[in-house]
Chain A
Amino acid sequence: MANFDQTIVNLQDVSVTFESSGKPLHAVDNVSLQINRGDIYGIIGYSGAGKSTLVRTINLLQKPTDGKVIVGGQDLQKLSNPQLRSARKKIGMIFQHFNLLNSRTVLNNVEYPLLSQHISKAKRQAKAKHLLDVVGLREFEHSYPEQLSGGQKQRVAIARSLANDPDILVSDEATSALDPKTTDDILNLLQHLNKTLGLTIVLITHEMQVIKSICHHVAVMDDGKIIERGNVAEVFSNPQQKLTQNFVDSSANVTGALEQIKSDPSLQKLSADERILYLKFRGKATKESLISDLTELYHLKANILFANIERIGDTSIGYLIIIISGKSKQLADGINFLNRHGVRVQLLPGKKEESDKDVNASIS
């Protein structure tokens, strides 16, 4: 566990259980999560995985059935109501549907969190105007939310969430209702806030793109549990769980390519000296000329069916689907060569009966 000063969010064995028609539903099942100050921590999972419930425990919008919620060193569950409300002011939150107040102007929306503070109207408005400058919407201060586009509404929501100078920003699917271009703009803004204000960002999403573009750390959630976590590049270059693998594959368009290859009749019947390989390599391996080495050293022929290189953080991850052909011994040696160089090799089913035992022997 990270030391006290570094860890800003510390969830310890948190569980949230709902009663649904008499049966207990474990929305969050005994999750511990430590997030460091200044981090951008992504939580990814499909809907119903419990990620939204989990992040709502961070400001106690959702009271955990069990476990401890420690934020900024404070045990939130031990606070009185007024203390909890003060603590919440230091945890900004933005939402998928923005949740702006339609009866108030953009400026008044940003001012809203400051209404309960004892500061003058002039100061309040000056602060709100400054925040609108930060998100680039100053000229819309007198507009009403209904007059803005989705991306603009989210910017207003971000400005509003910053009004009380929070230490943490919780983003609940904040880009899920936006188009890809606007998503990028909002993510860039969040990244900018993280760098300039040192704002710790906890975001939940079901989109890999979001995690890849700005997160430093990631946790993969399924069925109320965190099934995998760590540095984004590490988790996604070497996924241990099937779900994580799914997210990575679909993000790199590998899923589509695999489907296509599997359903391509010309690739169904491979001769005994052909193999379809799905190769994944990261970091250093992407820079080496492994494929040409493979063909030269082992006298194999390689035909590329699909290739893609993804950048996650500052690591490159390559995906390659190739057909290699050559003698049985050379095929095995070639696969061993790839394995030795840190490439993960997966044999795709072609002409099953022969290929299976061959490669099982060679991969192990």
Chain B
Amino acid sequence: MLTQVFPNVAHIWPQFVQAIWDTIYMTLWSSVIAGVLGLVVGIVLVITQKGGIAEDSYVYGLTDKIVNLLRSIPFIILLAVMFPITNFIVHTTVGTTAASVPLVVGIFPFYARQVQNALLEIDPQVIEAARSMGSGNFEIIFRIYLREGLPDLIRASIVTVISLIGLTTMAGAIGSGGLGDIAISIGYARYENDVTIAAMIVILLMVFFVQFVGDWLAKKTVHL
């Protein structure tokens, strides 16, 4: 069946399977690193803003501007601009590892904003209650913000991972490997449309999977 509907995919089957793994690899690594970075930056934005538990207009202003700046750069241009920095960090400019660097830089500011919005949903009076009970800033971050904000944080993470899957395909333009790379360099360049469509279907499946798992997790954390 595969050979009839997707003849060219069957022809490059090992390469196609590798591309799926490459996409998963890039998505996973970038998610983890950008996730940690974005979470930290998002928390910094929330606690240093006016009225936050560690109000600091200087830190807030700087962080806010960096996040805005990075979010303003179109990803395809960021890929090119990041070349020397990528080379410096991972000593290569091609392949999945090299692509992960601009992916992280491209996605973490987006995630930071999502985290910020999720945490701002928490009633400031609950934070005040925690302060009245003698909680310090770290306790408030770990026991209140991250805990009370968990359902929203999970939803923000789903949106971010889905965006990230999209970005990995764009990284195909600079030879990152992965499904985007195959869709462009084989499906598009050689007019082998079935490869493009197969890549698209696999990506859609990945997105559905992430959405499904995320929704399930979010539901588990809401107590009504």
Contacts and interface: CB of A to CB of B under 8 A. Distances in A.
Interface string A135-168: 0000000001011000000000000110110000
Nearest to B127: A99
Contact of A113 (B134, B150, B224): B134
Contact of A101 (B131, B139, B147, B224): B147
Interface in B203-224: 221, 223-224
> Chain A interface mostly helix, strand, loop or mixed?
mixed
**Central interface residue in A61, A93, A99, by most chain B CB within 10 Å:** A99
A65 interface: no
Contacts of B139: 115-116
A85 interface: yes
Contacts of B223: 102-103, 144, 146
Contacts of B129: 93, 95, 99
Contacts of A97: 123, 125
Contact of B133 (A104, A112, A147): A112
A89 interface: yes
B144 A101 contact: yes
A195 to B, nearest CB: 24
Contacts of A101: 126, 144, 147-148
Given A61-B128, A103-B223, A113 B144 contact: no
B132 interface: yes
A289 interface: no
A189 B132 CA distance: 21
Contacts of A163: 133
Contacts of A164: 133-134
B126 A115 contact: no
B135 interface: yes
Interface string A90-113: 011101010111111000000011
A212 interface: no
Nearest to B126: A99
Nearest to A93: B132
Nearest to A116: B139
B52 interface: no
A113 B132 CA distance: 10
A92 B133 CA distance: 7
A59 interface: yes
Contact of B125 (A86, A95, A160, A170): A95
A86 B123 CA distance: 24
B87 to A, nearest CB: 44
B143 interface: yes
Interface residues of B, number: 21
A349 B220 CA distance: 68
Contacts of A81: 136
Contacts of B125: 95, 97, 99
A147 B148 CA distance: 16
Contact of A103 (B131, B134, B135, B148): B148
A83 B79 CA distance: 50
**Central interface residue in A92, A101, A147, by most chain B CB within 10 Å:** A101
Interface string B135-169: 11001000110011010000000000000000000
A98 B150 CA distance: 20
B134 A88 contact: yes
Contacts of B135: 85, 116
Contact of A88 (B132, B148, B221, B224): B132
B148 A116 contact: no
Contact of A99 (B123, B136, B143, B150): B123
A82 B133 CA distance: 12
Nearest to A88: B134
A59 B132 contact: yes
12 contacts: A61-B128, A61-B132, A97-B125, A102-B148, A103-B147, A103-B150, A103-B221, A112-B133, A113-B134, A146-B224, A160-B133, A164-B133
Given A99-B129, A160-B133, 18 more contacts: A61-B131, A88-B131, A91-B132, A92-B132, A95-B128, A95-B129, A97-B123, A97-B125, A99-B128, A101-B148, A103-B223, A104-B147, A112-B143, A115-B143, A116-B134, A164-B133, A164-B134, A170-B132
Interface of A: 59, 61, 81-82, 85-89, 91-93, 95, 97, 99-104, 112-113, 115-116, 144, 146-147, 160-161, 163-164, 170
Interface of B: 123, 125-126, 128-136, 139, 143-144, 147-148, 150, 221, 223-224
The 8 closest A-B pairs by CB, nearest first: A99-B129, A144-B223, A93-B132, A88-B134, A89-B134, A85-B134, A113-B133, A99-B126
